[in-house]
Chains A and B, each alone.
Chain A
Amino acid sequence: NAGVTQTPKFQVLKTGQSMTLQCAQDMNHNSMYWYRQDPGMGLRLIYYSASEGTTDKGEVPNGYNVSRLNKREFSLRLESAAPSQTSVYFCASSEDRDTEAFFGQGTRLTVV
């Protein structure tokens, strides 16, 4: 009964370091998403994947890359972390783009 699983839960990076946030879902959903949550800003879409093999930019894609590895997995990569990328990152999945989304527990990332 895992749903959407994100790793890691917490991470501290130094400016300029790189890292990949992992996300996997076991609900056989077609669509997957990465959001970031910042105080007073709500959730903003970074990238999404409507189906396996496709990815599209969201509202705030700069500084990030994504890979839809297969139907289950959707990873988010920071190539050169910046303090402005300090945030809580949520992965989500849905059967299709306009149906309800299921969220992971989040990754709290701090860039110093």
Chain B
Amino acid sequence: GDSVTQMEGPVTLSEEAFLTINCTYTATGYPSLFWYVQYPGEGLQLLLKATKADDKGSNKGFEATYRKETTSFHLEKGSVQVSDSAVYFCALSSGGTALIFGKGTTLSVSS
């Protein structure tokens, strides 16, 4: 079945460092891909999405490019802030299914 694999955390960075969180997927058909963020004590919020190959989703300085050839959707940010500390989830939906999530990656940014 469809699945999402993302790098295990925690990821610990200093402020202004470059961030990459890897995400790869397995899916039949042509999935839509998403990154969600969860701040402490809150629900998940959509961070960005891409619905077809080579699309780039971007929001709040975060970017991810839908790579069909490598079945990947890695999340990147050029300069992280303390306020970016959260749990990040990669997810996909395909063929009318509900969202399938990865296990989440905890990011901790220190000043």
Contact = CB atoms under 8 A, between A and B. Distances in A.
Interface of A: 4, 31, 33, 35, 40-45, 48, 50, 58, 90, 92, 94, 96-106
B53 to A, nearest CB: 16
A26 B36 CA distance: 21
Interface of B: 32, 34, 36, 42-46, 49, 89, 93-104
A95 to B, nearest CB: 12
A26 to B, nearest CB: 15
A31 B32 CA distance: 16
B10 to A, nearest CB: 12
B98 A104 contact: no
A98 B44 contact: no
B97 A100 contact: no
Contacts of B97: 97-98
A9 to B, nearest CB: 10
Interface centre among A45, A96, A100, A104 (most CB of B within 10 A): A100
Contact of A45 (B43, B94, B98): B98
